[in-house]
Amino acid sequence: MQPLRIVSYGLGPIGVRAASLVLERKGLTLVGAIDTAADKVGRDLAELLALAEPTGIRVEGDARAALERLRPDAVIHCTSSFLPAVKEQLLEAARLGIDVVSSTEEMLVPELQHPELARELDQAARAGGATLVGTGINPGFAMDFVAVVASAVCRRVERVRCVRVVDAGTRRLPLQRKVGASMSTAEFDERARSGGFGHIGMRESVALVARGLGLQIDAIEQSLAPVVSERAHTTPFLTVAPGQVAGIRNIGAGKRGGETVVELDLSMYVGAPDPCDEVFLEGEPRVHLRFEGGLPGDLATAAILVNTLPSVVEASPGLKTVLDLPPPRFRP
Amino acid sequence: MQPLRIVSYGLGPIGVRAASLVLERKGLTLVGAIDTAADKVGRDLAELLALAEPTGIRVEGDARAALERLRPDAVIHCTSSFLPAVKEQLLEAARLGIDVVSSTEEMLVPELQHPELARELDQAARAGGATLVGTGINPGFAMDFVAVVASAVCRRVERVRCVRVVDAGTRRLPLQRKVGASMSTAEFDERARSGGFGHIGMRESVALVARGLGLQIDAIEQSLAPVVSERAHTTPFLTVAPGQVAGIRNIGAGKRGGETVVELDLSMYVGAPDPCDEVFLEGEPRVHLRFEGGLPGDLATAAILVNTLPSVVEASPGLKTVLDLPPPRFRP
C-alpha cells in the first residue's frame, strides 16, 4: 500500500509533535506544513521540530494555495480549540475533498455548541467527498471514548463516572499557566469569572458519553475550583508556594431531572499524587477500568491524531465523531 | 429510527443470553430463532429463556427457510467455535444479504487458520451485500481488542502483554469442566494431549493484536498447563480437592525470531484470587490498563454480540474483523 500523503496544519506544541510522528511512520508521508505565524512561514519544518537535517518541507502561510497544490490524503489540524475560529480552515479542506483529523476540542461533538456550523461543515464535507473528525486525549479518549468502548461488555449502563488526575508539574509551562499554577486564589477567582480558563472540551466529553450510550440528559453543567497547595512544589518552570493555587479541579456533569448520570472529574495540578485515568460504569456488569499512572497529555494527543489518520481516510464522507470510525490504533 | 430486525441463530448458553438482551433493547426487535436441536425446535423461545410469558417466536430447525422468510437485518450467530463447522450457515446468511455477528472463536481472524474458507466467505458476503464479523469477550475484547484500542495513545508499541485471570468457580459447570476442574493431573495430561481442551481462540487473539499493531511475527505458539489446587474449593457444582486440577493456564505467544512480542496469559481456575484483565504495552508511552475484578465471560460475550449489531448493519459488505468496525457500545 502507498503511504498516505499528510499535511500538518497548525504548528503549535501539539502540531509539531504530530508532524514528528508522521515523519516516523512508514505508512505516512509528510508532504507539507501550514502555519500563518509570521515567525514560522518560510522556515524548513526541521527548525520547528528541532531536527538535525532539513526536511525539505517549508512552512506555508497560504493554506488554500498549499492544499490546492498538494492535495494530500489528509490533514492533521491543530490550530485552535474553538470551532468558529477554524470554520473556514475546515471548509477549505472539505471543499477540496481532503480528510481532516482535528485537535479542535469543540470538534469532538461539533453540533453541541454550534449546530448551524456543524450542518454547514457536514454538507461541505459530503459535497466535497471529505471526512472530518475531532479527537485527542482529552477530549477524545481518556474521559469519553474509553468509557464508551468499555460499555461494549454491558447489558445495561445507567451511570458513568470518569476520573482523570494529571500532575501538571510534569507538563509544559503553558499548561501549568493554564491551570493557574502559582496564582493566588484571588487571581484565580478573577480569571475563572472571566471565562477563558481551565479545560476546554468538557461539555463535549459529557455529550459524547451521553450520546454514545443513549443516556438521556437535559443539561450539561460544569464547575471549576482551584486546588490550593498545602506545601511548596517546584517544577522546571515555576514554584507553587503553600496557599497558592496548584491547579484546577474541573467537573462536568450530564444531568437528567437534576440527577447526574455522567460525571467527568478532572484534576490537573502541580504535585498531584498518583496520576491516573479511571472509568466507572454503573450497570450490569459494573465496570471499573484504570490506566495506571494515567495517560500523558501532549504525546498521547499527538499520537491519537496520527493514529486516526488511516481511519479517516477510509471512512465515508461527512462530519463524524470518533464513535463513527474504527478505533484508532498504532501502526508503524 | 426503526428497530433492527434480528434473528438468534444457535440457542446454547451464549445464544439464549444474547436473545434475552435483544428482547430488552428498544433499538432491536427479535423476529426469529433458529436451532437444529430436536429438543428445541418448535418450542416457544420463552421456554428456553425461562420467561414467564410466551414470546410468540417459535424455534425453527430449518435455517435457510427461516432466513429466507424473515430476511432480518442481522443474525446473532452462536452455534460452534470452529469455522469449518459453521461455513454453510454463514454462507447462507451472506448469500441472502443478512449481516452476521458470530461468537465462533475462529471468526475473529478467519483467514488465520482457514484462508481458503475466509476468501469464500468474503466473496459471498460482498456478492450478497452482507457483513460478517466474529467477536466475544475472549477472543474479541479482553485479550486483543482492548490492547489494540489502548495503543491509540502510543507513538510506538514494541511488545504487548495481556493477562486475564478468571475464577472458574463463579462460572457455569460446562466451563468448570472445560478447564479440567476436579480432574487428576494424569487425566488432565491425557485430555490435553488429545487436543480438544482449554481455551479456543488464543491463536486468533495473538494474530489480531499483531496485525492490529503492525507487529511482525513469524510464529504463534501456545502452551497449556494445569493449575493444581493447594487446598479444597467447593463451587455450586463440584469440589476441587487439594492436589487436583483447579483449572488451566494457557499462554499464547506471537514470536519474531524466537522473541515473544505478543504474550497473552490466561488463567481460568476454581478459586483464582483477584480476577482481573490487564493490558501492558511496551513502547512510548508505556500503557498499563486494568479492569478491576475482571470482565465476566458469558454475560459480556452476549452483550458484545448484541452491542456489535448496529455497527455490522451499517458497515460496508465483506468479511470483517472487529478492528474494521466502529467500536461496539451499549445502546438502550
pLDDT of residue A197 exceeding 80, the answer is: no
Q: What is the pLDDT of residue B297?
A: 81
For cell 502559582, name the residue.
Answer: A182
pLDDT tens digit string along B218-227?
999 999 999 9
Of A212, A292, A304, the CB nearest to B152: A304
Query: Contact A284/B299, CB-based, under 8 Å?
Result: yes
Q: Pick the residue from chain A with its C-alpha nearest to B292.
A: A288
Q: Are strands B156-167 and B259-269 parallel, antiparallel or unpaired?
A: parallel
DSSP code of residue A58: B
CATH class held by domain A4-135+299-324: alpha beta
Share of chain A above pLDDT 90, in %: 93
- Which residue type sits at B123? Q
Q: Pick the residue from chain B with its C-alpha nearest to A154.
A: B303
CA–CA gap between residue A165 and residue A145 (Å, rounded): 17
DSSP A3-27: PEEEEEE--SHHHHHHHHHHHH-TT
Model confidence band, residue A196 (pLDDT cutoffs 50, 70, 90): low
Model confidence band, residue A194 (pLDDT cutoffs 50, 70, 90): confident
Q: What is the pLDDT of residue A60?
A: 98
- What mean pLDDT do residues A196-215 have? 92
Task: Give B46→chain A minimum CA distance, Å.
Answer: 19
Q: Where are the alpha helices (DSSP H) in A170-296?
A: 173-178, 185-194, 202-212
Chain B residues near residue A141 by CB distance under 8 angstroms: 152-153
CA–CA gap between residue B134 and residue B113 (Å, rounded): 14
pLDDT tens digit string along B273-322?
999 999 999 999 999 999 999 998 889 999 999 999 999 999 999 999 99
Q: Pick the residue from chain A with its C-alpha nearest to B137.
A: A153
Of A253-262, B27-36, B61-70, B195-204, minimum mean pLDDT range: B195-204
| Complex prediction ipTM | 0.96
Model confidence band, residue B172 (pLDDT cutoffs 50, 70, 90): confident
Determine if the peptide bond prior to A328 is cis (ω within 30°).
no
- All residues at 6 or more sequence positions from B253 whose CB lies less than 8 Å from its CB, including other chains: B206, B220, B221, B222, B223, B260, B262, B263, B264
3-state SS assignment for residue A142: coil
Query: Contact B303/A330, CB-based, under 8 Å?
Result: no
Of A149, A283, A296, the CB nearest to B149: A149
pLDDT of residue A254 exceeding 70, the answer is: yes
Q: Which three cell numbers stand for residue A224?
A: 471549576
**Mean pLDDT in chain B?**
96
- What mean pLDDT do residues B92-121 have? 98
Q: What is the pLDDT of residue B285?
A: 96
Q: Where are the alpha helices (DSSP H) in chain A?
A: 13-24, 45-49, 63-70, 83-95, 110-113, 115-128, 145-150, 173-178, 185-194, 202-212, 297-314
Of B141, B155, B288, the CB nearest to A152: B141
Given a contact cutoff of 8 angstroms between Cβ atoms, the answer to whether B166 and B172 are in contact is no
Options 1.20.1260.10, 3.40.50.720, 3.40.50.980, 1.10.10.10; which CATH number does B4-136+299-324 get?
Answer: 3.40.50.720
Given a contact cutoff of 8 angstroms between Cβ atoms, the answer to whether B301 and A299 are in contact is no
Model confidence band, residue A115 (pLDDT cutoffs 50, 70, 90): very high
Given a contact cutoff of 8 angstroms between Cβ atoms, the answer to whether B201 and B267 are in contact is no
Of A152, A326, A331, the CB nearest to B324: A326
Domain boundaries, chain A: 4-135+299-324, 145-294
Q: What is the pLDDT of residue A174?
A: 83
**Mean pLDDT in chain A?**
96
Q: What is the pLDDT of residue A296?
A: 85
With 0-12 CB in 10 A as exposed, 13-18 as middle and 19+ as buried, what is A314? Answer: middle
Chain A residues near residue B154 by CB distance under 8 angstroms: 300, 303, 307, 330
Share of chain B above pLDDT 70, in %: 99
- What mean pLDDT do residues A31-59 have? 96
DSSP code of residue B323: G
CA–CA gap between residue B262 and residue B61 (Å, rounded): 42
Task: Give A161→chain B minimum CA distance, Å.
Answer: 15
Chain A residues near residue B293 by CB distance under 8 angstroms: 288
DSSP B55-114: -SPBEES-HHHHHHHH--SEEEE-S-S-HHHHHHHHHHHHHTT-EEEE--GGGSSHHHH-
Torsional sign, CA B22, B27, B29, B33: negative
Of A212, A285, A289, the CB nearest to B289: A289
| Main-chain dihedrals φ then ψ at residue B206, nearest 5 degrees | -60, -45
Query: Contact B292/A291, CB-based, under 8 Å?
Result: no
Query: Contact B329/A288, CB-based, under 8 Å?
Result: no
CB pairs under 8 A between A and B: 139
Task: Give B82→chain A minimum CA distance, Å.
Answer: 23
Share of chain B above pLDDT 90, in %: 93
**What share of residues in chain B are helix, strand, coil (percent, to 5)?**
35, 30, 35
pLDDT tens digit string along A157-173?
999 999 999 999 988 88
Given a contact cutoff of 8 angstroms between Cβ atoms, the answer to whether B328 and B135 are in contact is yes
- Which residue type sits at A90? L
Chain A residues near residue B329 by CB distance under 8 angstroms: 148-149, 151-152, 212-213, 323
pLDDT of residue A150 exceeding 70, the answer is: yes
Query: Contact A330/B283, CB-based, under 8 Å?
Result: yes
Of B141, B300, B323, the CB nearest to A326: B323
Q: What is the pLDDT of residue B196?
A: 64
Of B156, B287, B293, the CB nearest to A291: B287
pLDDT tens digit string along B182-217?
999 999 999 888 876 778 999 999 999 999 999 999
Q: Which three cell numbers stand for residue B139?
A: 477472543
Query: Contact A285/B291, CB-based, under 8 Å?
Result: no
Q: What is the pLDDT of residue B169?
A: 92
For cell 464535507, name the residue.
Answer: A125
